[in-house]
Each structure stands twice: as structure tokens, then as C-alpha cells.
């Protein structure tokens, strides 16, 4: 979902574009969210389950639907047909997303009522331009009748609810990183994606060294500030849609990535560890260093269909234990 700052403009009465993406791949959802995040007047809602798309669209009242064609549990073309048969969604513009240019499927999509066709992932400038164009055409249409007032009010109420819901369902309240609930959803999707593509998947488990001693010496409020600063460093290494930084629990964080090549995970971990140390946050009671440091345990593998991402996290935890045992403020990465 988009930021609170963008949502405030909707609450003050300014009309906004509401984009709903229906796609089962979390990394596509994250890529589109990031492409739209800084665009004024655009609000984003993500649906990763095709069978729920119609119900969610009724609630969200989108002004543009981005619809994936190929999903494991639903047909994008069938959903397009259902949108056009639905009274409330009949006129909502639908931009079809496909992995490649396929003339036959493109022709069928347009015959079923698609308004546009994009090969994913589209260029950000092109995506924003097409979203704004179709949304404006749609809103110009509905502004001519009473339905516009009902749409505006339902969107206002939805944004109010989403501002609170987003904090509860996706974001850790202290650090601003993703929370454990969203992490589990994301890494499960990335595991299945890596299985299909035979790609490397890696996790980094990051622990603030001797954090209890820091709290005992400097106080818990200062400890909270340390976690925020460390989280900011970690987030700086998760700029791709395929990366995610999350608070795992307490003073532990987890990074999920699709490293290419596999050794990239080691390089990222070492740079991250060094940047935390170079931040020079005083830690008077540390037996490791006079500043705050982190230990990092990593694990990487090419996932197999019969495997489970939990095993990868457990391997990273084992590597973290080794890093601590070797003296902390270091990186250990194991193959799972």
C-alpha cells in the first residue's frame, strides 16, 4: 500500500487514483508498489489470490485494475470476463499484464474488454502514464453522475482503515521494516518463485551484539534508537523488489534476497556489518568493541520443491550461532 503521506491528501478531500494489482508473485507486487509509491494522488492495493479478486475489487473500488494473465489458481482472462459482467466493475479500466508479447492472447484479452496490455515488468514512466491516463478517463466518466460521490466516500473510509491496518499487518511499529507476519508471506512466495526458476535464495539473520548489556547500560529508550538506526542501515541494502528487510524479533533482523551470483549474499552481509560498525554508535559495556556491532549468519540454496524455507532460516540461525561463537562482529554464510 502507499504511504501515509499520500493517504492524507485523500482524507483532506483530494481525489486520488486507486490502483489494484492482481498477481500471485510477491516480487511483482513489490515492484509495482515501489514504482507508484512516490506518485502523488495514487493509492495502491495488492491482491495475490485470483479467486479473491472480485470480492476485493468490490471493496477497494479501483479506478484501474492491473491484471496478471497467468496465475496458479485463477485465469486472468476469466477474471476479465467477470469484471465486465459485474455491475459495479463493468467500466473499470483493466490493464492486462503478461510475461511476453503473445498476439493471440492479446487479441482475446481485448475482445473480452481489456483496455490496455503491458509486458511485465513495464518501465516505471510508462506504467505511471498508462495508469493515470486510464484512471482519468474512468473518473471523468463517473464524475458525471451520483456514483462519483459514493466512490469518493468509500475510498476515504477505506484509506482511513488502511492507514491503521497497514501498520498492523505489514510493518513493525518500532523500526518501520516489515514485520514477521509479512516476512513469512514474502519468503514463502520467494521460495516458490526460486523453485520455478531454479534460482538461488538467501537469507541473512542479523543480531545486534550484546544488546541486553546495551539496554542495561544506556536504557531501553536508547536501545530502541539503536534498533531504528540498525534497521535503517539494513533497509539500505534491500532496494530491489526481490529483497526484503524485516524485524525477526527482539534485536534480530532478517534479510531475504535472490543473490546473483550466490556469493553476492556474502558481499552484502560483510558490507552491512561494516556499515553498522562505521556508524560508531557508542556501546560502553560491549566486550566486542566500544561501538555497536552486529553478527550475521547467512544461508543460501537453490530451493527444491520438496524443501521448505523454514529449513533455510534454521541454517541461517546456525550460521549466526557460529558467528557469535567466533567472537561476534563477523559474518558466517553456509550453504543449506
Our CA angle for 203, 206, 211, nearest 5°, is: 165
Of the candidates 4, 1, 74, which has an alpha carbon nearest to the alpha carbon of residue 32?
A: 1
| CA R_g for the chain | 22
Cis peptide before 121 (omega within 30 of 0): yes
Query: What is the number of residues in the chain?
Result: 336
Cα-based distances in Å from 314 to 101, 202, 264, 318:
41, 12, 20, 6
Which DSSP state fits 52? G
Residue showing cell 494522488: 41
Three-class DSSP category at 246: strand
251 is catalytic: yes
Which of the following is catalytic: 30, 210, 235, 251? 251
Measured torsion, CA atoms of residues 53, 54, 55, 61, in degrees rounded to the nearest 10: 100
| Active-site residue set | 251
Amino acid at each position: 500500500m502507499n504511504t501515509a503521506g499520500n493517504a492524507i491528501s485523500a482524507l483532506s478531500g483530494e481525489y486520488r487514483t486507486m490502483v489494484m494489482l492482481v498477481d500471485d508473485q510477491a516480487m511483482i507486487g513489490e515492484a509495482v508498489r515501489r514504482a507508484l509509491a512516490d506518485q502523488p494522488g495514487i493509492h495502491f492495493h495488492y491482491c495475490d489470490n485470483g479467486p479473491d479478486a472480485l470480492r476485493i475489487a468490490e471493496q477497494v473500488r479501483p479506478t484501474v485494475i492491473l491484471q496478471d494473465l497467468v496465475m496458479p489458481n485463477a485465469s486472468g482472462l476469466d477474471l476479465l470476463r467477470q469484471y465486465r459482467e459485474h455491475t459495479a466493475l463493468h467500466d473499470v479500466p483493466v490493464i492486462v499484464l503478461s510475461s511476453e508479447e503473445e498476439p493471440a492472447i492479446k487479441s482475446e484479452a481485448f475482445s473480452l474488454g481489456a483496455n490496455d496490455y503491458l509486458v511485465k515488468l513495464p518501465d516505471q514512466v510508462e506504467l505511471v502514464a498508462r495508469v493515470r491516463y486510464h484512471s482519468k478517463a474512468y473518473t471523468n466518466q463517473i464524475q458525471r453522475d451520483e456514483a462519483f460521490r459514493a466512490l469518493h466516500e468509500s475510498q476515504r473510509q477505506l484509506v482511513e482503515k488502511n492507514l491503521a491496518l497497514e501498520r498492523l499487518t505489514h510493518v513493525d511499529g518500532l523500526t518501520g521494516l516489515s514485520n514477521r507476519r509479512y516476512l513469512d508471506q514474502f519468503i514463502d512466495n520467494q521460495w516458490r518463485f526460486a523453485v520455478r526458476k531454479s534460482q538461488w535464495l538467501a537469507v541473512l539473520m542479523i543480531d545486534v551484539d550484546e544488546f541486553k548489556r546495551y539496554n542495561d547500560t544506556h536504557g531501553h529508550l536508547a536501545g530502541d534508537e539503536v534498533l531504528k538506526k540498525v534497521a535503517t542501515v539494513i533497509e539500505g541494502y534491500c532496494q530491489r523488489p526481490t529483497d526484503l528487510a524485516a524485524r525477526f524479533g527482539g534485536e534480530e533482523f532478517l534479510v531475504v534476497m535472490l543473490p546473483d551470483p550466490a556469493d553476492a549474499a556474502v558481499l552484502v552481509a560483510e558490507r552491512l556489518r561494516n556499515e553498522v560498525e562505521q556508524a560508531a554508535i557508542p556501546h560502553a559495556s560491549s566486550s566486542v568493541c566500544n561501538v555497536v556491532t552486529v553478527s550475521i549468519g547467512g544461508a543460501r540454496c537453490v530451493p527444491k520443491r520438496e524443501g521448505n524455507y523454514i529449513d533455510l532460516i534454521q541454517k541461517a540461525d546456525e550460521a549466526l550461532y557460529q558467528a557469535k561463537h567466533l567472537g561476534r562482529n563477523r559474518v558466517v554464510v553456509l550453504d543449506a
